[in-house]
Amino acid sequence: MALVGKNLSPLPALREMLHLMSELLGLNRGRIVLSDENRQFCRIRHAYGLTRNEIERGCYAFGEGITGRVIQNGQLAIVQDIDQEPSFLARAVERSKLPPGPVAFIALPISIDRVTVGVLACHRIRRRSRAIADDLTLLRILATLIGQLLQLETRLQEKTQALEQQNAALARALESATARYGIIGTSPRLLSAISELERVSDSAASVLLLGESGTGKELFARALHLASPRRDKAFIKINCAAIPDALFESELFGYERGAFTGAATMRAGWFEQADAGTIFLDEIGELPLTMQTKLLRTLQEGTMTRLGGKREIRIDVRLVAATNRDLQAEVARGAFRQDLYYRLNVIPIHLPSLAERRDDIRALALHFISHANQVNQRNVNLTASALDRLQQHSWPGNIRELANVIERIVLLADRPILDAAGVERFLPDERAASLAPQPVDTPDVQDHASVLAANMRRATLLPMRPYERVGSHSADALRETLRQCAGNKSRAAQMLGMTVRQFNYRWQKLGLANV
Complete DSSP assignment for 133-195? HHHHHHHHHHHHHHHHHHHHHHHHHHHHHHHHHHHHHHHHHHHHHHHHTT-----HHHHHHHH
| Residue that is last in its domain, among 350, 370, 394 | 350
User: Are 212 and 318 members of one domain?
Assistant: yes
Which residues touch 313 (CB under 8 Å, ≥6 apart)?
272, 303, 304, 305, 306
| Residue that is last in its domain, among 367, 398, 427 | 427
The pLDDT value given to residue 446: 40
Which residues touch 179 (CB under 8 Å, ≥6 apart)?
none
pLDDT of 494 > 80? The answer is no
Q: Which among 112, 120, 85 is positioned nearest to 3, based on CA atoms?
A: 112
User: Are 321 and 194 members of one domain?
Assistant: yes
The model's confidence at residue 490, banded by pLDDT at 50, 70 and 90, is: confident
CA 319 vs CA 182, 194, 270, 310, 507: distances in Å? 21, 18, 12, 24, 29
Q: Which long-range contacts (CB under 8 A, 24 or more apart) does 215-219 make?
A: 215/351, 215/352, 215/353, 215/354, 215/398, 215/399, 216/183, 216/351, 216/398, 216/399, 217/282, 217/322, 217/351, 218/280, 218/282, 218/322, 219/181, 219/182, 219/183
Q: Strand 41-47 to strand 318-323: parallel, antiparallel, or no bridges (unpaired)?
A: unpaired
User: Are 196 and 322 members of one domain?
Assistant: yes
What's the rounded Cα separation, in Å, for the pair 62 and 41? Answer: 6
pLDDT of 354 > 70? The answer is yes
User: Are 261 and 199 members of one domain?
Assistant: yes
User: Are 253 and 277 members of one domain?
Assistant: yes
pTM: 0.54
187 or 441, which is more confident: 187
User: Are 149 and 25 members of one domain?
Assistant: yes
Q: Is residue 216 part of a domain?
A: yes
User: Are 215 and 317 members of one domain?
Assistant: yes
Q: Is residue 166 part of a domain?
A: no
User: Are 342 and 383 members of one domain?
Assistant: no
- What pLDDT digit, counting tens, does each position of 141-165 carry? 999 998 888 888 888 888 888 888 7
Q: Is residue 170 part of a domain?
A: no
The pLDDT value given to residue 431: 58
The pLDDT value given to residue 5: 40
Containing H/E element for 281? strand 278-282
- What pLDDT digit, counting tens, does each position of 244-296 carry? 888 889 999 999 886 544 556 888 999 999 999 999 999 999 888 889 999 99
User: Are 454 and 410 members of one domain?
Assistant: no
What's the rounded Cα separation, in Å, for the pair 412 and 376? Answer: 11
- What pLDDT digit, counting tens, does each position of 18-76 carry? 888 888 788 888 999 998 877 788 998 889 888 889 888 889 999 889 989 998 899 99
A 10 A CB-CB count for 390 gives: 23
> Please, what's the largest Cα pairwise distance for the chain?
127
Q: Is residue 393 part of a domain?
A: yes
User: Are 210 and 242 members of one domain?
Assistant: yes
Averaged confidence pLDDT in the chain: 83
What's the rounded Cα separation, in Å, for the pair 271 and 278? Answer: 9
The pLDDT value given to residue 464: 39
Containing H/E element for 207? strand 207-210
User: Are 327 and 222 members of one domain?
Assistant: yes
Q: Which among 471, 441, 436 is positioned nearest to 286, based on CA atoms?
A: 471
The pLDDT value given to residue 217: 93
User: How many structural domains are present in the chain?
Assistant: 4
User: Are 32 and 133 members of one domain?
Assistant: yes
CATH number for the domain spanning 283: value is 3.40.50.300
| Residue that is last in its domain, among 158, 179, 202 | 158
64 or 464, which is more confident: 64
Average pLDDT over residues 439-464: 42
CATH number for the domain spanning 374: value is 1.10.8.60
- What pLDDT digit, counting tens, does each position of 395-416 carry? 999 999 999 999 999 999 989 9
Q: Which among 5, 29, 9, 40 is positioned nearest to 121, based on CA atoms?
A: 29
Average pLDDT over residues 311-328: 92
Q: Which among 506, 419, 420 is positioned nearest to 468, based on CA atoms?
A: 506
399: containing domain: 354-427
What's the rounded Cα separation, in Å, for the pair 125 and 138? Answer: 16
